Structure 1
Amino acid sequence: MAPRPVPRNKTSAAVVDYILEQIFEGRFRSGDRIDLGEVCEDLDVSRLPVREAIVMLERDGIVTSTYHRGVFVEPFDAKSIIDDFEIIGLLSGVAVRRLAEEQDREVITRLEGLVDELRAGPPNDRDRVVELVRTILTTEHRAGGSRRLRAELRAFTGYLPLVFRISSNRSHADTVDAHARVVRAIAAGDGEKAARYRVDDFRDAGRRVVEELERRGVLSDEA
């Protein structure tokens, strides 16, 4: 598949999405050197957003930048992906637990509406599903998270939606149910149950993503 051009008004976040997509599709493999000049040319962007994207990816352990040698893809293995999902599930669990304890009815009503919208949406409209899931998570994290927690969760905002988008082995019904039960627990004021559901959901999603990437032959043999 040919690289997808990125409009000029996109920022470094779009470059991050592009590089991650190359990794998830198997075009950038573990240990490969990323030619930043080619990335600029493929996306028709300047060096600045590309350099910013590399800083973000290095922070998340996706690439390593070495002076005078270049940028290289870190080992991309099942254990790393499972850890990513485990970590964000635990962090997100803290936010939904606090949200359940605080019982902000305005936020809860908004979340219930978003879940209804997710349930009613076309199951095959993957981009819309990802957009709604991102909005649900962002709403929960902003309302239930502290400054520190929100900062930690933002590190995953570019990574996870793209991973969910490329993973095709999770049904629309499963996605709806996963978010609906968290929101029901929040509305009922059961923070422990909301947190447990969120962790379980992300663990399951991580396993599904690993299965999909193994099917594609993308993952490194290194553990």
Structure 2
Amino acid sequence: MSYFSDEHPLKQSCGRLEDLRKANFAPDLTIEVLNGQKVYAHRIILAARIPALEESLARPGGSLSWTSYSQSAVEALLEYVYTGKANISQDNAQNLLQMAKSLQMDALEEWCIQFLVESINLAHLSDLWLLSQDTKSDIMQDSCLSVMRRIFDDFVSTDLFASLSPAALLQLIDSDDLRASNEEAVLQAVLGWKKRLSMPVGFSTRFCGIPFCPLTFR
């Protein structure tokens, strides 16, 4: 038996497949996205690249309902599916992470987390903290806590600090990396946290973060 290799194997055609998708060439799958917009794709490609969807996509007809996510974020996800390359930006990273988590796309999830933790600052710390809770990302949560400790004196005046659970507050202050001006500042911050919540220190709060929206097939 002899084996022969094509000059242009399928693995080298990823870019061409993405071009065909963008041109809406022979799509057989409709994806409903935010604001009633629609994106088109090929179910055989998605089934091969996203095992979590394989069973659902095997059923004839139907469409994917990803109505919690913007068209641009879904397009970025599909570009990764078709080419293996992810174009992650501040505009789509959070949506991409949520979709990757829901679809069990581990590599994309890891890349999104890496992108987000490299750019954490006080301006969007709250969004990323809540996202870390929704996606159960220990890496992102630890990165957020690290930033909170580094800017502690500024952070304690934010709504996010006031909303921390007792467990999260303990994680924050029980660290050698805490950069507070002095111990008195930490004590006053904790007392202020307790006063603003108007509850005993042992009471457990519940986060009300960015809703984690599953991706459904119908």
Could you state the TM-score of these two structures normalised by the residue count of structure 2? Answer: 0.26
Judging by fraction of residues, say which structure has more helix.
Answer: 1
TM (normalized to structure 1)?
A: 0.25
Q: Which has the higher contact order (CA 8 A, sep 6+)?
A: 1
Larger radius of gyration: 2
